[in-house]
Chain A
């Protein structure tokens, strides 16, 4: 099985790796690039734990091959905080206790960030629809939705 040389941008850094063409982008991020924040829940695009953006589009990295990322721009959870300063979504998730086991959290944060870039003032219903592809078995979702709404308000510089 000949490997393919892939050059891609991950969170703004140029990254190179050798990928078996059957490996998913998720496998490549975790095993070749060493970024283990993106999680594998289902491996079939149902749970959203592996959410990343690819050239700005929210995708499940388990449904993208690593070789497809060649020449593209990938953003993962590791690129969300600015050094030690948390992104408002990350801070609000802590404040609202919007996580328990935390396995779904990186994917939900990446998805929620993309939502707020697309729609800075979403309704609760819009948040719920946007995040319908991110499964959480702990929280019952309510605190997640509240945290996203609160972060959206802060980013709009309004009190929630």
Chain B
């Protein structure tokens, strides 16, 4: 295995594009090192991205959004007051990943590129309308987060391409987001269902919303029908029921040891209702 430490994303993309064998990018390493150890993946070229300037930084963008470096670990998201104030749902999703030790290493970008439908940090990013900046041999492009995973373990990244930053839009006024997941214990487990809601209010009326579900389909999924069920409402009982119904209707889960199709479908509706109420409370200034 050759270990590379490029200092620019362009160099990293060139290395990956020219590599003949199996290539892996290394940021936090909490998936890659486990795969290497298990013998699932034996890279010929391992490209460590942490020597690239800015990869460990969270910066405010010119439009008032956020740019999150690909090597920023979960612990740094939770410690960033500005980001927590703007996007608490994104941060709480990431903070559910693994233990304190894992939080010291694991990254949003890695969680996204691992391609798990149950990735806890991804629904929050999708609901937030986040996008990724992708650097490849031919230059850079941006892609909405929901278009990155294409099937379990597979992403839309082409050979030689890598994510060079996660971009969150400006939060704006009277808005909030939240992420909830169901697991059969209190922490350190893989989501059976995950649900994220981001919304904006005018008074008590929802004017914008995005809803994303995890672990109920081959990929994390944006659910426009669920958002439409609450836009224009005050999140009254009828709207919440319509939201739950739309969320459940969007599910196409599998039966496995963690949960059945029927259970996941039902719980997706319940969690989405609860996440919407938390997002609403945050939009009204609740900081919990």
Interfacial residues, chain A to chain B (CB-CB below 8 A)? 1, 4, 21-22, 24, 43-45, 48, 51, 54, 57-60, 62-65, 67-68, 111, 114-115, 129-134
Partner of A62, one of B33, B50, B73, B98: B33
**Contact present for A65 and B33 (CB under 8 Å):** yes
Chain A binding surface, main DSSP class: mixed
**Contact present for B46 and A21 (CB under 8 Å):** yes
Query: What are the residues of chain B within 8 A of A58 when measuring CB–CB?
Result: 100-101, 104
Whether a CB of chain A sits under 8 angstroms from the CB of B1 is yes
Q: Closest A-chain residue to B188, C-beta based?
A: A132
**Contact present for A45 and B30 (CB under 8 Å):** yes
Chain B binding surface, main DSSP class: mixed
- Interface-lining segment among B34-42, B141-149, B233-241: B34-42
Q: Name the distance in Å between B95's Cβ and chain A's nearest Cβ.
A: 11
**Contact present for A43 and B37 (CB under 8 Å):** yes
Query: What are the residues of chain B within 8 A of A63 when measuring CB–CB?
Result: 29-30, 33-34, 101-102, 105
| Contact A21 to B98, CB < 8 A, known contacts A64-B29, A68-B48 | no
Whether a CB of chain A sits under 8 angstroms from the CB of B187 is yes
Query: What are the residues of chain B within 8 A of A130 when measuring CB–CB?
Result: 100
CA distance in complex: A1, B38 (Å):
20
**Contact present for A45 and B3 (CB under 8 Å):** no
Q: Closest B-chain residue to A2, C-beta based?
A: B2
**Contact present for B73 and A57 (CB under 8 Å):** yes
Task: List 8 tightest A-B contacts by C-beta distance, closest first.
Answer: A133-B99, A21-B3, A57-B104, A59-B104, A60-B101, A133-B101, A44-B34, A63-B33
CA distance in complex: A21, B2 (Å):
7
Interfacial residues, chain B to chain A (CB-CB below 8 A)? 1-3, 26, 29-30, 33-34, 36-38, 46, 48, 50, 73, 75, 98-102, 104-105, 187-188
Would you mind naming 8 contact pairs between A and B with Cβ atoms under 8 Å apart?
A: A21-B2, A22-B36, A43-B37, A44-B37, A59-B105, A67-B3, A115-B100, A133-B100
Taking each of B34, B36, B38, B101, which has the highest tally of chain A beta carbons within 10 Å of its own beta carbon? B101
| Contact A64 to B105, CB < 8 A, known contacts A22-B36, A57-B73, A111-B100 | yes
**Contact present for A22 and B1 (CB under 8 Å):** yes
A-B contact count (CB 8 A): 78
Query: What are the residues of chain B within 8 A of A21 when measuring CB–CB?
Result: 1-3, 46
Query: What are the residues of chain A within 8 A of B48 when measuring CB–CB?
Result: 65, 67-68
Q: Name the distance in Å between B7's Cβ and chain A's nearest Cβ.
A: 14
**Contact present for A133 and B102 (CB under 8 Å):** yes
| Contact A111 to B101, CB < 8 A, known contacts A21-B46, A63-B33, A63-B34 | yes
CA distance in complex: A134, B102 (Å):
11
**Contact present for B36 and A57 (CB under 8 Å):** no
| Contact A24 to B73, CB < 8 A, known contacts A48-B99, A58-B100 | no
**Contact present for A1 and B1 (CB under 8 Å):** yes
Q: Closest B-chain residue to A22, C-beta based?
A: B1
Q: Name the distance in Å between A140's Cβ and chain B's nearest Cβ.
A: 16
Q: Closest B-chain residue to A129, C-beta based?
A: B187
CA distance in complex: A20, B168 (Å):
38
CA distance in complex: A57, B107 (Å):
14
CA distance in complex: A144, B162 (Å):
43
Q: Name the distance in Å between A117's Cβ and chain B's nearest Cβ.
A: 12
